[in-house]
Amino acid sequence: MLLLLLVPVSLCAFHPAVAQITSAPEFKSGPVFQKDRSAATVDGTSHASAEKAQLNAEVMSRLKQLSGYKGGVRLIEAKLLPAAQKWFRDQKLPIGVAVALFFSGQEAEGVRQLLSIGRANTNSVTIVPFLAETALVVPSLIAPALEVIEKISAKNPASSEAFYYRARLIQDQEATSIELLKKSIALDRAATAPLIEVSRLYTRTGDRPAAIEALEKVLALKPDTSIAHYRLASLYRAMGQHEKASSHMAAFQKLQ
């Protein structure tokens, strides 16, 4: 799931014996780990920066999967963004041009170009993750991005990703978002991103048992999913199940 491959983050400054979860491990929600009197966030800097880093990693991961994009991807990774834009333009690869613009700081323009690509290609789901992940950074363009993805979804009713990204774009509408995620999960039983997202929404709405169930399914599919262990540690601790919380926290720290 752009964006729901998560970038492994280091918590090496914290020793397992003294690190404690002090709040739900959601981005932009305050302290996560605490040692003595100092608090640190998921990536050791800020929740917002951790979220952005994960988004960027997801976009790049998706770009690497597209046929013929390797040359431009290498230029982006080398931070040669103008050269990357030119390379993608010369190769007539508009998604690459838009992504290079996005990474160069022209985020709104990058999203607008992805919107144009999506409007012209409503039969294809290829654009969906790029458009959804980048639109989340430009709130004013979320509504048009959602409109385009809904049209793509209507023409591709068997696309698990289309339902997943529609849910991501309306995540503040918990009930509707959860229903979309359930459809995404039903369409692809092997996908973990929709399960991780639905667990987050269940946590937000206070349904901890449902959140735990979703995360346990993630681990059944991919036992080394660090964020699942991390969030399960928080959820079990909140429910007073400290042995399970400690077990998942140990698993999380082992994966770092």
168 within domain boundaries: no
pLDDT band at 30 (very low <50, low <70, confident <90, very high): very low
203 within domain boundaries: no
Share of the chain above pLDDT 90, in %: 73
Largest CA distance in the chain: 58
192 within domain boundaries: no
103 within domain boundaries: yes
What's the pTM value of the predicted model, to 2 decimals?
0.78
3 within domain boundaries: no
- Domain range for residue 77? 66-156
> Residue 22 pLDDT > 80, yes or no?
no
> Residue 1 pLDDT > 70, yes or no?
no
pLDDT band at 51 (very low <50, low <70, confident <90, very high): low
Is 218 within 8 Å of 228 (Cβ atoms)? Answer: yes
Query: In which residue are the tokens 């932009």 written?
Result: 28
> Residue 109 pLDDT > 80, yes or no?
yes
| Overall domain count for the chain | 1
215 within domain boundaries: no
More confident residue, 58 or 14: 58
28-32, 79-83, 89-93, 125-129: range with lowest mean pLDDT: 28-32
46 within domain boundaries: no
Sign of dihedral through CA atoms 193, 32, 54, 5? Answer: negative
> What does the angle CA 225 – CA 227 – CA 231 come to, to the nearest 5 degrees?
125
- Overall average pLDDT of the 33-59 stretch: 48
pLDDT band at 52 (very low <50, low <70, confident <90, very high): low
Is 149 within 8 Å of 165 (Cβ atoms)? Answer: yes
146 within domain boundaries: yes
Strand (E) or helix (H) holding 55: helix 47-65
